[in-house]
Structure 1
């Protein structure tokens, strides 16, 4: 179905939407247990921690009136089936990375990360200080969801490779795991891009089904064992400069909760977002040193490769702006990024460079 036609016929228009808006809310009584399906294997470093924090915080904030039963990928539905499960009412909520669902609508990518997009502080500025959250809700409600960001990995690594890459031509035919719009941009360089859940990456590399992959960062990647199957690691990547995770609740379920319970979900997600960011940053540095000590070769992409990444990314994002909702989200995010990035480049970034230079000389 054409996306623009779909949006015009969505719940935003028509008499049915107006009638629903005027109806008196009917709140479910008694204690509730909500089933949360996830895109993550149980216990996966960082991302599963965010699942548990969201679930535990909702229970604590509601004094046990709402509890969340978290299901790992494959326990109820497959990792990439959680969106459909929640929109269909087979599960109450999901936790995952919204860019897995760009096949539903490409604007979902902005609520995880887009290539050459926002860093984590820029994402937080847009989401909490401007209209990012409202746009997340607007997009989610088209699909019968109430969506919140609920985790943050920070900048993700450029990837793990069996062999180093010296130029953009080295990506031609490379079997590379990368989801979201970053993967679509990489395919423009000739890569054979695959979308696999985290739990399947190690096996795919071990068997040769993949030549290279990105996952998250040194800590999570080390826990996944990627250093055992690839020798070359590129810490800086173009595709996820500040990747948010999300929780989405089936909209009918969300509307059946009391206002205080709804607020508890919103605040639990915000809490998990900031706590998860701190967790990743705290663990990535020590993990990177362990990887170096273990023999991992740390590499940097050449300027030629970075230029190719940039050209492919801009071309890709521009290709989607004919969709009204994508353009609305895209323009908002880009404007926010330009504004906050302009300040951060002359404040935080300049300070960090000078601090590191001075301390290194002492």
Structure 2
């Protein structure tokens, strides 16, 4: 009995000492209450892409017990799509969610962070960013514009678009008024296409009035909302200019740098979850949307092989021209090309063999 009290005192002291390090991280740095604005590059009717910003805001809010609030807004509500990255870089808004190709006019290097004609597929784009060194390469480029970025989703391979007349040969591309943007438009221009810049909501009217001959958008789930099969029934595939279109969360670099590390970790985790959800939603929803489109009059047609081969040659010519003028483009394009070639070495062995067998098995019933 005489030694009981001292032992209890020592035990209490020991527990207190052991517990102290557990509480230290919460005291290591103050976690401020913040409200940031997030400008989406997409309208609200694109439920997967705009919905990504809503999911991101919800996850961040829940993970921080409401101390870090993010307010999403659709394209045009705060800034237009073409000014979104400038708005983030200047600090007008703290976060953006858009494809990097929105800034191709600023620097063609940005296209490589989204998708390029005959570039990486969705899995390859993700692997290149997360494990292949792309994040580090782009960090240097984005920093010049006051930006830092995290992956924010991928649409997967896109469709080739809606055409009033079927493309049967490269001759059918001559003077074709085609709504197609970015480097894809520059490649097709080499084949005689007249690229047009028209917003999604205006495509139906432009096709109906014959101001456009064709228009590409995204894929079945999003395309269905436009009803284009009623005025341009030929649905060509694939969209070889966007074999795996990545979307990024953009952050003002100075504001990102000033964040507590706890908040940075929360934003990184939220972006990773949303990025996985975006592609999963497209993969899950596109099949049924495609069935409905075909039932509604869409006529599926693959692009002819000679058209795709001609586009590949035109793309390689364009990349040579851009590389000769832009050292950053050459450095990052060469890195992407090397990674792409290694990816397809692997894909052709197991992935393609398995997928090809299962596709043929499905066709046999």
Deviates more, 1:41-50 or 1:333-342: 41-50
Structure number with higher helix proportion? 2
Summarize the alignment of residues 84-99 of structure 1 with structure 2, pairs less than 5 Å apart. 84-99=86-101
Report 1:200-239 matches (<5 A).
Answer: 200-239=202-241
Per-residue displacement from partner, 1:54-112 (whole Å, max 9, x unpaired)?
22222223332222111111211212211121122211121111111111111111111
TM-score, normalising length from structure 2? 0.88
Which ranges of structure 1 fall in alignment gaps of 5 or more residues? 1-26
Question: How much does 1:306 deviate?
Answer: 0.9
Q: Which residue does 2:345 correspond to in 1?
A: 342
CA distance in 2, matches of 1:332, 1:201: 36
SS at 1:140's partner residue? helix
Between structure 1 and structure 2, the one with the greater Rg is 2
SS in 1 for 2:323: coil
Quick one: distance in 1 between partners of 2:79 and 2:346? 44
* CA distance in 2 between partners of 1:284 and 1:52 (Å): 21
Structure 1 residues 66, 208: CA separation in 2 closer, same or farther (over 3 Å shift)?
Answer: farther
In the alignment, what sits opposite 1:121? 123
Q: Are the aligned partners of 2:81 and 2:102 in contact in 1 as well (CA < 8 Å)?
A: no
Alignment of 1:302-317 (within 5 A): 302-317=304-319
- Residue 286 of structure 1: aligned partner: 288
Relative to structure 1, is the Cα distance of residues 213 and 28 closer, same or farther in structure 2, using a 3 angstrom cutoff?
A: farther
Change (3 A) 1:57 1:198: farther
> C-alpha root-mean-square deviation of aligned residues, in Å?
1.7
Please name the residue that 2:265 is paired with. Answer: 263
- Residue 331 of structure 1 is matched in structure 2 by 334
Q: Please give the alpha-carbon distance, in whole angstroms, between the structure 2 residues aligned to 1:169 and 1:204.
A: 23
How far residue 29 of structure 1 moved from its aligned partner, in angstroms, is 6.0
CA distance in 2, matches of 1:33, 1:191: 45
1:155 to 137, 154, 157: 157
Query: Structure 2: any 5+ residue segments left out of the alignment?
Result: 1-28
- Count of residues in Structure 1 that have an aligned counterpart in Structure 2: 336
Q: Partners of 2:228 and 2:52 in 1: how far apart?
A: 21
Q: 1:128 to 1:361 in 2, by over 3 A?
A: same
**What is the CA deviation profile of residues 24-68 of structure 1, one whole-angstrom value per residue up to 9, with x for unaligned ones?**
xxx996311111112211231321122222222222233322221
Aligned-partner SS, 2:162:
strand
